[in-house]
């Protein structure tokens, strides 16, 4: 067990320190220190430099992410010293505010204490900001993707609001204590009401989406050390909202409504009404975010940025790993170079991993 940990630590320290142009002596010294820590307490602690570099490289190694050109610009906030749910909630509010930055979104990660034999911290939310979903007699209200988590929140005492876009509370758990709930104050959550540059009726749908996707359920693994609470964000690619969250049949399922409002023949698939509705929904998403000054990227630009990432990595002599099935955008994939390429889906570390749901 501890042998494995030291092996993982060695691999990480060697690659991290050599990328940072540190000397062989520095590597040896650090490994000696790490070995001592592991022998005396069963684990070791990263330096601030190791933590920052590990979190960045974990992004660089995220095979499913098309936005990796910016891996080196991740803002790393070290909150490993926090001890209580209240302090953690405070740090999450700070993360939301800092990352949102009034719309000029900053890629950010907040890192809470690592997993040790004595302590595990977890954030139950899938993303810090997410809309609730409720099962009602008339079907699902809100985001069907949030049904299970919303039920948990209600069990824990959250008051359901029964709206289409209710922001769920933060749920934070330390060890086996019962999880604590924290409401996110309205002024912290930047949201974008959706309108269309040509279709005046679009705003009558009263659709919106939140500005910053902050994934909070994954764990960060660096050199054999596990950070079970390490929420991170970039900015949205338009299709995530327009071609998935609002369009999937198992999510907000808005294409039939939009198609009908466009006057399309939604009975015949050869009218391509779904494709036309998708296009206009995605146009509305990009138009509204742009107009409100909230960072967003369209899928063509994102693919070009990914191309640049591939070229840069090649230049440095690193190979890019990737998951083709996730890298292709859900709209017009063959209009990007990614569709016509192939990628090695090997999982390198450091990386972000799914972990079992705590509920």
Backbone angles phi, psi at 8, to 5 degrees: -65, -40
Number of residues located near ligand ARG, criterion CB under 6 A: 8
Residue 65 among the catalytic residues: yes
Told to check if 251 binds ligand ARG by CB under 6 A, we report no
Bridge-based pairing state of the strands 75-78 and 108-111: parallel
* Residue span binding ligand ARG (CB under 6 A) among the ranges 51-59, 149-157, 239-247, 308-316: 239-247
Q: Using CB under 6 A as the criterion, what x/- string covers residues 200-219 for binding ligand ARG?
A: -------------x-x----
- Catalytic residue, candidates 71, 124, 158, 235: 235
Q: Which of 50, 60, 65, 122 is catalytic?
A: 65
d(CA 122, CA 124): 6
Q: Please, what is the minimum distance in Å from the beta carbon of residue 305 to ligand ARG?
A: 12
The residue among 356, 341, 359, 337 whose CA lies nearest residue 115 is 356
Nearer to ligand ARG, 215 or 262 (CB): 215
Specify whether the CB–CB gap between 212 and 96 falls below 8 A. yes
Between CA 189 and CA 86 the distance in angstroms is 19
**Dihedral, CA atoms, 33, 35, 41, 47, nearest 10 degrees?**
40
Task: Report the phi/psi class of residue 75: left, alpha or beta, with left for phi > 0 and alpha for psi in -120 to 50.
Answer: beta
Is the CB of residue 66 less than 8 Å from the CB of residue 303?
yes
Residue 248 as a binder of ligand ARG (CB under 6 A): the answer is no
Binding residue for ligand ARG, selected from 237, 243, 246, 286, defined by CB under 6 A: 237
Please tell me whether residue 171 adopts helix, strand or coil conformation.
strand
Smallest distance, ligand ARG to C-beta of residue 72, A = 16
Binding segment for ligand ARG (CB under 6 A), chosen from 19-27, 131-139, 198-206, 240-248, is 240-248
Residue 240 annotated as catalytic = yes
94 counts as catalytic: no
Distance (Å, whole) CA 170 – CA 214: 12
Examine residue 43 and tell whether it contacts ligand ARG (CB under 6 A): no
149 binds ligand ARG (CB under 6 A): no
Annotated active-site residue 201? The verdict is: no
Residue 292 in the binding site for ligand ARG (CB under 6 A): no
Tell which positions 59-118 bind ligand ARG, by CB under 6 A.
none
Q: Which two tokens stand for residue 38?
A: 């592991």
Is the link from the previous residue into 350 a cis peptide, with omega within 30 of 0? yes
Catalytic residues: 65, 68, 235, 240
Name the site residues for ligand ARG (rule: CB under 6 A).
Answer: 213, 215, 234, 236-237, 240, 244-245
């Amino acid at each position: 067990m501890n042998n494995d940990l030291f092996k993982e630590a060695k691999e990480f320290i060697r690659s991290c320190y050599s990328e940072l142009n540190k000397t062989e002596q520095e590597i040896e010294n650090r490994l000696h220190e790490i070995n001592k820590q592991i022998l005396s307490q069963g684990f070791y602690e990263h330096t601030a430099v190791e933590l920052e570099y590990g979190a960045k490289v974990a992004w660089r190694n995220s095979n499913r992410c098309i936005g990796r050109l910016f891996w080196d610009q991740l803002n790393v906030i070290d909150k490993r010293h926090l001890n209580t749910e209240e302090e953690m909630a405070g740090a999450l509010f700070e993360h939301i505010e800092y990352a949102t930055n009034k719309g000029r979104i900053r890629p950010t990660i907040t890192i809470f204490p690592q997993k040790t034999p004595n302590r595990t911290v977890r954030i139950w939310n899938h993303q810090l900001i997410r809309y609730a979903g409720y099962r009602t007699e008339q079907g699902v209200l809100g985001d069907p993707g949030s049904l299970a988590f919303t039920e948990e929140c209600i069990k824990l005492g959250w008051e359901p609001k029964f709206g289409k876009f209710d922001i769920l509370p933060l749920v934070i758990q330390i060890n086996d204590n019962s999880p604590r709930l924290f409401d996110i104050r309205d002024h912290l959550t930047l949201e974008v009401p959706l309108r269309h540059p040509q279709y005046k009726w679009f705003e009558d749908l009263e659709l919106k989406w939140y500005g910053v996707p902050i994934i909070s359920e994954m764990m960060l693994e660096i050199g054999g050390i596990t950070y079970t609470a390490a929420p991170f964000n970039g900015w949205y690619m338009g299709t995530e909202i327009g071609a998935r969250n609002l369009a999937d049949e198992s999510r907000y399922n808005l294409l039939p409504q939009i198609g009908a409002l466009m006057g399309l023949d939604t009975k015949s698939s050869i009218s391509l009404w779904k494709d036309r509705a998708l296009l206009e929904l995605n146009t509305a998403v990009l138009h509204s975010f742009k107009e409100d000054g909230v960072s967003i990227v369209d899928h063509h630009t994102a693919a070009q940025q990914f191309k640049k990432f591939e070229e840069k990595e090649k230049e440095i002599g690193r190979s890019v790993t990737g998951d083709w099935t996730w890298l292709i955008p859900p709209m017009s994939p063959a209009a990007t170079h990614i569709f016509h390429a192939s990628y090695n889906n090997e999982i390198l570390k450091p990386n972000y991993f799914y972990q079992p749901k705590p509920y």
